[in-house]
Amino acid sequence: MAIPVSFEFFPPKTPEGAEKLRQVRQQLYALQPEFCSVTYGAGGSTQEGTFATVGAIIAEGVAAASHFSCIGATKDSVREQLTTLKAMGVKRLVALRGDLPSGYGAGGEFHYASDLVGFIRAETGDDFAIEVAAYPEIHPQAKSPEADLKAFATKAKAGANSAITQYFYNADAYFRFVDDVRKLGVDMPIVPGIMPITSSSQLLRFSDACGAEIPRWVRLRLQAYGDDTASIKAFGLEVVSDLCARLVAGGAPSLHFYTMNQAAATQALCASL
- Just list the catalytic residues: 8
**For residues 110 and 253, what is the distance between their CA atoms, to the nearest angstrom?**
30
CA dist list (Å): 181 to 74, 75, 117: 30, 29, 18
Question: Which amino acid belongs to residue 21?
Answer: L
- Sign of the dihedral defined by the CA atoms of residues 169, 203, 142, 154, in that order: negative
- Residues 174/252, Cβ–Cβ less than 8 Å: yes
- Residues 239/267, Cβ–Cβ less than 8 Å: no
Q: Please enumerate, as own/partner, the contacts of 72-79 that have beta carbons within 8 Å and a separation of 24 or more.
A: 72/43, 72/44, 72/100, 72/101, 72/104, 72/107, 72/108, 73/44, 73/108, 73/109, 73/110, 73/116, 74/108, 74/109, 75/109, 75/119, 78/110, 78/116, 78/119, 78/120, 78/123, 79/123
